[in-house]
Structure 1
């Protein structure tokens, strides 16, 4: 032992160097990506279903407005008017025109490309011109067959939206059938 000089000895302790870390470890990134992937896998079918329902609702609303417009024009002009629906090259189209004429190509309006006319459609089908039609008299009443135009998605045939013409006076209402409902049930 050495003799001390009278001054207290100070033992210097050097701090342990901290390892500086910037960013995330590979494990943390992998876990985060895994969680995001799982959430995405859960959300995708719900998002797809929501988009299909929105497309069908839009198609139904357009069809309803087209029918109302044809009915209004018939009353306003005192001439029979017709709304026609057809499916051409995978696209559903509609047109409003006087009953006495066939619509020209420029009169047809297309619905969303993922929408199709469903087999549940009961409007009069004109096989010669390949169109479903609904006619209104000059009084705005239905001329001929009552029925419904039903739309379904090309990817989900169980979810349906429709416009129903239920009385000769031209009363119309919108209907629907969801995928979870009884498969025998029509769009109501």
Structure 2
């Protein structure tokens, strides 16, 4: 019967005698290693992330131009009248105007000045100006030289 109190006494005595120190936290060397690894991964990922965001911005501008053209074409069909869509590339950022609606192509200020250039004609003889497209009452591009069917 004396064995149990003796064991309890030894266990309590031993736990007080050999207090373990808590090794909480990180050493400076471990922290430097983690920071170095994060820096290397960031250096690898940053250029591709920049290219990705620029590509997304370009796609957004292209979609806005396409939507403006489709809206002007639909408006010409709806009104049964000519609708002119004008691209103003003199201002920065460029704007698209049709029926008094002016739409900036700047995507909420995310595009830096001088990075968007619009051109509609690109040498096409059917376009009267290099900055506008005219849709007729059927939604077709209006030309100066109508095509004659023989």
Normalised TM-score (structure 2) = 0.68
Mapped to 2, the partners of 1:71 and 1:117 lie a distance apart of 22
Cα shift at 1:90:
2.4
Change (3 A) 1:39 1:51: same
Mapped to 1, the partners of 2:36 and 2:128 lie a distance apart of 52
Mapped to 1, the partners of 2:66 and 2:119 lie a distance apart of 18
Tell me what 2:28 maps to: 26
Cα shift at 1:20:
2.6
Q: Higher relative CO (CA 8 A, sep ≥ 6), structure 1 or 2? A: 2
Normalised TM-score (structure 1) = 0.56
Change (3 A) 1:121 1:29: farther
For the Cα contact (< 8 Å) 2:120–2:131, is it kept in 1? Answer: no
Gaps of at least 5 residues in structure 2 are 1-13
Structure ranking higher in strand proportion: 1
Tell me what 1:74 maps to: 76
Mapped to 2, the partners of 1:119 and 1:68 lie a distance apart of 17
Tell me what 1:142 maps to: 141
Mapped to 1, the partners of 2:43 and 2:139 lie a distance apart of 50
Mapped to 2, the partners of 1:119 and 1:66 lie a distance apart of 15
Q: Which has the larger radius of gyration?
A: 2
Alpha carbon RMSD of aligned pairs, Å? 2.9
Cα shift at 1:133:
0.9
Equivalent residue pairs, number: 123
Gaps of at least 5 residues in structure 1 are 1-12, 98-102, 146-167, 169-188
For the Cα contact (< 8 Å) 2:76–2:139, is it kept in 1? Answer: yes
Tell me what 2:131 maps to: 132
